[in-house]
């Protein structure tokens, strides 16, 4: 698509917060054909985004951080290729992309990083690591918390797919009693992983010491955990969500944290991202929160950007790979 003195195509890397997109992979195969520009600030205004991307032929977007509805795609006549990390993306209007002549491609992704972050949050909550580390560094009290045990405690998992099943196996290694629930979960699948099948969502919430969310977001899971469900949890219980924010009602969670109805929550996903500076979740008690780090690891970024290079090269050569939609 380039050559004969024509200018290189322009490629934008969206939400490259750490400015590592151009170094996480080898972009040299595209040298002379594609100019790569890293955009390190998130743009949540569609008008601003349309203007910023007006001069780009290719866009690489991470996960589902930036929606590409028809209203945006219709305003990007120069766009020809949209690469999204992962092989599933619910915020890209594929029909509008096709109508506008935009090819949409994905990349593979590892489920290991969110599993590891889930346990980082769970362990951090159980042992009060942030509070204790802050006190130690700032000359605060020596030993101010009494940690929650994992051995012999019940871990309740909402979802037992690729991520949930790996979280389950770590829980079993800690000697926890692990149970799982989802609407379509079978005894056979639970037995395969080596965990119990909770008879209902309500029973799982009321009987678990730790609850971790690993469900896909859909109409049946949106708002699944609201005020009534949080009230079922033990006052000594902890909730972890590294899946999708909309599965847990964030207003209800905030109220439960302030009221002390649960011991704490570990959250990596939010209704608004990046979280505004004055958002109440930034100062909520009993909350251990991370800025959507679930898939943010060196190996995963190497895969995302490395396969983005492959996607772009294949597209330029006329044989797109990993096409979505």
Would you please indicate which residues are annotated as catalytic (active-site) residues?
A: 244, 273, 292
Beta-carbon count within 10 A of 120 CB: 18
Structure tokens at 168: 């389950």
Structure tokens at 308: 């983005």
3-class SS letters over the chain = CCCCCCCCEEEEECCCCCCCCCCCCCCHHHCCCEEEEECCCCCCCHHHHHHHCCCCCEEEECCCCCCECHHHHCCCCCCCEEEECCCCCCCECHHHHHHCCCEEEECCCCCHHHHHHHHHHHHHHHCCHHHHHHHHHCCCCCCCCCCCCCCCCEEEEECCCHHHHHHHHHHHHCCCEEEEECCCCCHHHHHHHCCEECCCHHHHHHHCCEEEECCCCCCCCCCCECHHHHHHCCCCCEEEECCCHHHECHHHHHHHHHHCCCCEEEECCCCCCCCCCCCHHHHCCCEEECCCCCCCCHHHHHHHHHHHHHHHHHHHCCCCCCECC
């Amino acid at each position: 698509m380039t050559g004969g003195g024509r200018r290189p195509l322009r490629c934008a890397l969206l939400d490259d917060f750490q400015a590592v997109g151009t170094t996480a992979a080898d972009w040299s195969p595209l040298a002379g054909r594609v100019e790569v520009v890293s955009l390190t600030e998130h743009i949540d205004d569609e008008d601003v985004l349309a203007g910023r991307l007006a001069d780009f032929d290719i866009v690489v977007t991470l996960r589902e951080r930036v929606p590409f509805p028809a209203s945006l795609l219709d305003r990007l006549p120069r766009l020809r290729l949209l690469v999204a990390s992962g092989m599933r993306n619910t915020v890209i209007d594929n029909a509008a992309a096709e109508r506008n002549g935009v090819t949409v491609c994905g990349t593979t992704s590892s489920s290991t990083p969110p599993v590891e972050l889930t346990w980082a949050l769970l362990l951090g909550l159980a042992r009060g690591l942030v509070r204790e580390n802050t006190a130690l560094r700032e000359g605060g009290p020596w030993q101010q918390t009494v940690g929650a045990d994992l051995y012999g405690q019940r871990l309740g998992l909402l979802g037992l797919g690729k991520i949930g099943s790996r979280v389950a196996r770590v829980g079993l290694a800690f000697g926890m009693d692990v149970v799982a629930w989802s609407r379509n979960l079978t005894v056979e699948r639970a037995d395969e992983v080596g965990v119990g099948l909770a008879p209902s969502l309500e029973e799982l919430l009321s009987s678990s010491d730790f609850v971790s969310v690993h469900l896909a977001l859909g109409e049946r899971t949106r708002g699944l955990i609201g005020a009534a469900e949080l009230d079922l949890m033990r006052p000594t219980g902890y909730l972890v969500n590294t899946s999708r924010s909309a599965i847990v009602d964030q207003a209800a969670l905030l109220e439960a944290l302030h009221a002390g109805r649960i011991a704490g929550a570990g959250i990596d996903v939010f209704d608004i991202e990046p979280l505004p500076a004055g958002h109440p979740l930034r100062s909520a008690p009993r909350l251990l929160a991370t800025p959507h780090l679930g898939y943010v690891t060196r190996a995963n970024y190497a895969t995302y950007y490395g396969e983005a290079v492959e996607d772009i090269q294949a597209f330029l050569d006329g044989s797109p790979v990993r096409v979505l939609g």
